[in-house]
Structures are given as structure tokens and as C-alpha cells.
Amino acid sequence: MKIEVPQYMQKRFFYSLLAVIFISVSYQGQRHEIGVQLGMSNLVGDIGRTNYVLQRPFTNVSDYGIPFYGGILYRMNFNPYQTVRLNLGFSNIQFVDAGAKETYRRNRKLWGTNSIIEADVLFEYNFLPVNDEQKSLLSPYIFGGVGALLANATKVSLENDFNRDAGGVAIAPTSDTDFQTNPTYVSGKQLTMAIPFGVGLKYKFNYNWALFGEFMFRPTFSDSIDYSVIDDKSVKITYNKDITTPGMTTSILQESPYREVAEARAEDFLKKRQIGNINSKDWVNTVSVGLTYSFGRPPCYCGQ
């Protein structure tokens, strides 16, 4: 049976489709901002200074590098007050016990650096309608969101090997502890989440341009950005196969009770390697200034 669609329904569908297209075009035509940020990032962790912002940098560039932040951003301004922002940035951070206010840290004399690539999705709220069509306006704003950080990480391989004679030939163990566990450190990467938030001040000028400065705080889900902890997932346990059980291709060190001893040694190694409070996660914070340019059709703030 052939079903005929009434003419008025066809027209309604057509007009609805046009409305959807118009809304989509209008949305795509709303005001956009692109820009750059420059500033300084610092770490608050188990090594180095503990003040959250404006840490005084160390000038020994050959050892510590430059505490730097650089990034690009995109803003979608939905109305004069509300903005969704995408950030992509790079940070180089220093953490040096010599500059800490705590005596035990200064006496410990640990230090390090890390390089971090970060991406954030943020919601901004401006207290004044700085995204409107006026020529210039100054407004404070707050923001928060979610982020991801890709940082350098310390990884370790724990090789369980047999005791050996002078010629390097493996000696069969005579007890469950009669073998060696040797660590080898390697460099790697770690991906962790963060909850960025902060405050800023935005000055719009000449209709399309804006200067802004902000403090951004990033509590992370990692305690190893300062290498003070090695995560379980960053540990690889291996077993030498010089001696195998008859009829098996695996090392006898992978069998009980040797395996349990090897795992206990790995757990003990990680505990001794820990520095500071393992229940307190690292923060990566940034002070920056930026410049943006607005383009596209002005957004429609209808009904406001």
C-alpha cells in the first residue's frame, strides 16, 4: 500500500529543516576567539618549594632549565558572560629543595625538572558582559574544568636473576631467597588527569582584541610528577631464564616460592623509593598573560 504524505506535512518538514540549518549556521557564526598565552609554571609536590604561585625561579639554566608556560587557546563565547575554552599548552617546571622554606627539605638537597604537555576543557564565567559588542570593557572571571597532562616519568625494570659463578654461569638457588633482584631505571611518559580552576582578568579593546592575565591551579591525580613515587604501573618485573624447570619454558624464578619473594622485594623497593607524603598528589600551577583575537559574526543574545 502506498502512503501519501500530506502537502502541509511536507511543507512543515521543509520549514523545520530550514530552521535547523539556520540555527546551525548561526551557531557556527557565533563569536570565536583564538589566542596565545605565556607565563611560568611551578610544581607543588614532595620536592622543592611549597608556595602555590609565584615561585622564584632558579637561574642555573643548564641544570634546571627555565620555568616556562606557553600555550594556545580557543574560546566559544555563548553569551556576554559565559565561555567554553580549549587550552593546549607546554610547561617546563623546576622543583629544588634548596629553595624550600622547610629545613628538612633544604638538608635533603633533592632537585629535578619535568616537561609537561597539557590539554584542558574549561568553562569561564565573566562577572561583566565583556563578550558583548562594546568597544572596550574590563572584567574579572573565574573558570574550572577538566584536563589531561602528559609528563616525563621514572620507570623501573626489576630483573630477577640467578647468582652466578666467576664465569657468569647461573647457579641453581638452594633456598627461596637465593637469587638477585636488580633495578634498572628508564625514562618514560605518564598520562594523568587534572582538575584545573582559577581566576583571571580580561580587558577587551578595539572591539576584537583582548588581553588577559590569570592564575591557574591544576591538582593532578599523580604523585610522581616530581619523581618522588614510582607508580605500580611503571614497574616491570622480569625473570632470567638461564635455568628452567624440566619440561617448562619459563624460568624457575617465576614459580613458587621464588615468585612470591620477587614480588615482596618489588613492593619493598617501591616503599623505600617513596619520598614525602604519598597521599598528597602533585599540583602544577601557572601564572600567565595572553592575547586573543575575536572573529565571526556576533553571537545572538536574544531574550537577555
**Res. 5 pLDDT band, cuts 50 70 90:** very low
What is the pLDDT, as a whole number, of residue 1? 45
| Start-end of H helices in the chain | 7-28, 61-64, 103-108, 258-273
Q: How confident is the model at residue 245 (pLDDT cuts 50, 70, 90)?
A: low
Per-residue pLDDT band for 66 (boundaries 50, 70, 90) equals confident
Tell me, yes or no, whether 272 lies in a domain: yes
* Domain CATH for 211: 2.40.160.20
Percent of the chain with pLDDT over 90: 55
Domain assignment of residue 175, yes or no: yes
Residue 7 falls inside a structural domain: no
Q: Count how many domains the chain has.
A: 1
13 within a domain of the structure (yes/no): no
- Enumerate the H helices of 29-81 as residue ranges: 61-64
User: What confidence score (pLDDT) does residue 181 get?
Assistant: 94
> Which of 159-173, 260-274, 286-300 bottoms out in mean pLDDT, i.e. has the lowest?
286-300
Q: Which residue has the higher pLDDT, 260 or 63?
A: 260
Q: Is residue 12 part of a domain?
A: no
The three cell numbers of residue 266 are 618489588
CA 132 – CA 137 distance, rounded (Å): 9
Mean pLDDT, rounded, for 271-278: 86
* Cell numbers linked to 42: 611551578
pLDDT in tens, 91-150: 999 999 988 889 999 999 999 999 999 999 999 999 999 888 788 999 999 999 999 999
| Residue 14 falls inside a structural domain | no
- Sign of torsion over alpha carbons 265, 270, 275, 280: negative
pLDDT score for 247: 65
pLDDT for 71 = 97
What residue numbers bound the domain in which 276 lies?
Answer: 27-295
Per the structure block, which three cell numbers stand in for 108? Answer: 635533603
DSSP state of 177: T
Predicted TM-score of the model (pTM): 0.80
Higher-pLDDT residue of 3 and 209 is: 209
Please check the confidence at residue 6 and state whether its pLDDT lies above 80: no
Copy the grid coordinates of residue 73: 587557546
pLDDT digits (tens, 9 = 90+) for 171-224: 889 999 999 999 999 889 999 999 999 999 999 999 889 999 999 999 999 999
Residue 124 lies in a domain: yes
**Considering only CA atoms, which of 172, 174, 185 is closest in space to residue 269?**
185
- Lowest mean pLDDT: which of 29-38, 166-175, 252-261? 29-38
Residue 36: per-residue pLDDT: 97
What pLDDT, on the 0 to 100 scale, is given for residue 278? 80
Report the pLDDT value the prediction gives residue 99, as an integer from 0 to 100: 87
**Which pLDDT tens digit goes with each residue over 76-99?**
998 889 999 999 999 999 999 988
* Mean predicted confidence (pLDDT) in 44-49: 91
Percent of the chain past pLDDT 70, that is, above it, reads 86
* Mean pLDDT of the region 37-59: 89
- Residue 16 domain-assigned? no
